Amino acid sequence: MRLLVLLLTLAVFPVHAQKPAYAVASLIGDRLLVVVADKSVGSNIDRNRLDEGTGIKPMIDVIAPAAQKAGATHLIIALKNRDDARLRVADGMVGLGKLEGLGFYVDNVMRMTNSETGEGAVGFVAPFAYIRFLLVDLNTGATLREQVVRESHAVSSQKATVAWDALPAEQKVQLLQHLIRTAVDDAIPELLGKP
Q: What is the mean pLDDT of residues 97-125?
A: 87
158: pLDDT strictly greater than 90: no
The full set of domain ranges for the chain reads: 18-37+55-191
The Cα 101–Cα 193 span in angstroms is: 24
Pairing label, strands 33-36, 92-94: unpaired
**Right CATH for 18-37+55-191 from 1.10.510, 1.10.1760, 1.10.357, 3.30.160:** 3.30.160
Strands (E), the chain: 22-26, 33-36, 74-80, 82-84, 87-89, 92-94, 98-113, 120-137, 143-152
Per DSSP, what are the bridge partners of residue 120? 113
Q: For residue 47, count other CB atoms closer than 10 A to its CB.
A: 11
Burial of 86 per CB tally in 10 Å (0-12, 13-18, 19+): middle
DSSP state of 18: P
- 2-6, 56-60, 80-84, 182-186, range with the lowest pLDDT: 2-6
The rounded mean pLDDT for the chain is 82
Q: Quick: pLDDT tens for 113-149.
A: 766 677 788 889 999 999 999 999 999 989 999 999 9
Model confidence, pTM: 0.80
Q: What are phi and psi of 180, to 5 degrees?
A: -65, -45
